[in-house]
Chain A
Amino acid sequence: MNTVFQKPETLTDVQMHYCPGCTHGIIHRLVAEAIDSLGVREQTVGVASVGCSVFAYDYFNCDMQQAAHGRAPAVATGIKRVLPESIVFTYQGDGDLASIGMAEIVHAAARGENITVIFVNNAIYGMTSGQMAPTSLLGQKTATSPRGRTVEEMGYPIKVCELLATLDGPAYLTRVSTHDSRHVLQAGKAIKKAFEIQQQKKGFALVEVLSTCSVNWGMTPVNALKWMEENMVPYYPLGVYRDVTAKEGN
């Protein structure tokens, strides 16, 4: 018998604080596996954000910085510009990236900043107990949209990949999902590619990963995967929104 699956080296032994079934844990592992497979753990600096992933610095077994709410792309820029040979990634949720941090992510993308952004979209503020997020779906009930999100009151959810795809700066933009094992494997490939793009100094790479929040959505972890597949995937279409390597025929 050979070991064919085990904890990646780039995850620490600290038990993650996430709620049962939270796909943050899966996405953490995919990031760690990507770093392991490229052999860049010793040159990687990760940037944790604010939200449920605020403690990410405890889980990734590499140098880490903890950033203020929404500012991770600016912090990552500061690091990458003085350590251009390092591998720098941010790990941000939807409130952090698409609400308070909108200026930072748009400008990092527009500059073509050579960093990797892991954007976890679960359509809600998890850490602060379930408020409406910029990516909450129309009709979605949250602590601050108790009768459901309406266009009249709260406007439309923000589609980050589509928004950033209007810019010339990004090298790689893709949206993936974690609702079943096939999609998780695809997400892992996308995340690995987003690190390779940086390694090859091709510029800004962002992977939007659709994710669950079963506790704040008010359902079991298994049902949350189903809800995500049936409600989030149709509104946030999966796929590649920018890939400069495709142009090169790779």
Chain B
Amino acid sequence: MAKVLMKGNEALSEAAIRAGLKAFYGYPITPQNEVPAYMAEHLPLRGGVYLQAESEVSAINMVYGAAGAGARVMTSSSSPGISLKQEGISYIAAAQLPCVIVNVVRNGPGLGGIQPAQGDYFQAVKGGGHGDYRLIVLAPGNVQEMADLTTLGFDLADKWRNPVMILSDGILGQMMEPVEFSENQETVKVEKPWATTGAVNRERNVVNSLDIIPETAEKNMTALLAKYDRIKEEEVRWQEDNTEDADVILVGYGTSARVARSAMELARKEGLKVGLFRPITLWPFPEQRLRELAKPGRKFLAVEMSAGQMIEDVRLAVNGISPVYLSNRLGGMVPTPEDVLKKTRDIVEGRVN
């Protein structure tokens, strides 16, 4: 199929429909409104259900119901709306239901603004709702990846019976780039013998997250954590460039990684040995590879549109072997390559502690 020019939010939506999406439950919020609009336009004509819920809270619980009934299902929102979904996400994770949740992040906290940001990193990768659980968190870096990681997201959700979050931002959602969809992205249909589809010729199925017996609840949690360990072993994804000889490795995801890449290219032209490390899975975080890259004399610079969130995972990964610095902008401001380059020079020339 030829490349077409699309907004990131539209490419993501098209990829979801091609992945066999059966239902989309949404609620309006900027800057993700292209997703529900695309779904409302296309999904009912291609065998799926589009429904605008009365709130983000209801939308995520509709996702719970449909996922429990075995359907490929998704919802999308932006930061304040994702906060409202956290209760439902916790239940979905606990009941081990597959679904895709899109967060087109805007600046916060509170009502914040509608400009791109990455301040929901902790919420996405550390849990967000109550209890011990993890989402698989995918961070696209361009419009093609908005599509490709959505396809992957549905497959990972079904494979692991786990909610997957696409952590995007206002720039990636709104920007237009060429994107290519393969002719047939119908994925292998995963059997879901646990789904509540009606107990015909089988024992009844129950979708549930309640267990008031501590002994069995602990066993269930241990099994859940074992699943998370297997995901950490099998599903870590990242991209790295020019890291072999790098004195400074820039670490960033999403829009920040695009800025960091430009900064790396500027730095290389100046003769500075700078590399780029871009996590694609934010959970599981590529900590093992970062640890391998850490060595005395090498430095890391986390590039973020948040107040120093991802940097904590970078520091945990390098575990004191290399120093880790921060270059960031807040409030919906996007860092420039020059900002990052200046900080890189300061690090190389020892002007920062």
Q: Which A residues lie at the B interface, using CB under 8 A?
A: 41-45, 47, 54-55, 57, 61-68, 71, 74-83, 86, 103-104, 106-107
Contacts and interface: CB of A to CB of B under 8 A. Distances in A.
B61 A74 contact: yes
B54 A47 contact: no
Contacts of B58: 71, 74, 77, 103-104, 107
Contacts of A47: 65
Interface string B56-75: 01110111111111110100
B308 interface: no
8 shortest interchain CB distances as A-B pairs: A78-B65, A78-B62, A63-B196, A74-B61, A75-B65, A107-B54, A71-B61, A82-B71
B24 to A, nearest CB: 10
A74 B67 CA distance: 13
B199 A78 contact: no
24 contacts: A57-B208, A63-B204, A63-B206, A64-B196, A65-B68, A65-B207, A66-B95, A66-B210, A68-B87, A71-B88, A74-B62, A75-B61, A77-B58, A77-B65, A78-B65, A78-B67, A79-B66, A79-B69, A82-B23, A83-B198, A86-B197, A86-B198, A103-B57, A103-B58
Interface residues of B, number: 39
Q: Per DSSP, are chain A's interface residues mostly helix, strand or loop, or mixed?
A: helix
Given A45-B197, A103-B58, 19 more contacts: A55-B210, A63-B206, A65-B64, A65-B208, A66-B208, A66-B209, A67-B64, A68-B61, A74-B62, A77-B62, A78-B23, A78-B25, A78-B66, A78-B73, A82-B22, A82-B69, A82-B71, A103-B54, A104-B58
B325 interface: no
A41 B200 CA distance: 9
A163 to B, nearest CB: 15
Contacts of B29: none
B199 A104 contact: no
A118 B333 CA distance: 51
Contact of A78 (B61, B87, B91, B95): B61
B210 A54 contact: yes
B328 interface: no
A62 B202 CA distance: 10
B51 interface: yes
A115 B94 CA distance: 25
Contacts of B67: 78
A71 B57 contact: yes
B71 A63 contact: no
A104 B88 CA distance: 14
Pick from A54, A62, A79 the residue with the most CB of B within 10 Å: A79
A44 B206 CA distance: 12
Pick from B25, B59, B73, B199 the residue with the most CB of A within 10 Å: B199
A71 B55 CA distance: 11
Contacts of B220: none
B40 interface: no
B206 A82 contact: no
A69 to B, nearest CB: 9
Contacts of B266: none
Given A77-B51, A103-B54, A67 B61 contact: yes
Given A61-B204, A64-B207, A78-B69, A41 B25 contact: no
A106 B199 CA distance: 30
Contacts of B207: 64-66
Contacts of B294: none
Pick from B23, B69, B205 the residue with the most CB of A within 10 Å: B69
A116 to B, nearest CB: 15
B152 interface: no
Contact of A63 (B23, B73, B198): B198
Contacts of B61: 67-68, 71, 74-75, 78, 104
B261 to A, nearest CB: 40
B53 interface: yes
Contact of B206 (A43, A64, A71, A78): A64
B51 A81 contact: yes
A66 B96 CA distance: 13
B198 A82 contact: no
Nearest to A78: B65
B114 interface: no
B321 to A, nearest CB: 44
A59 to B, nearest CB: 11
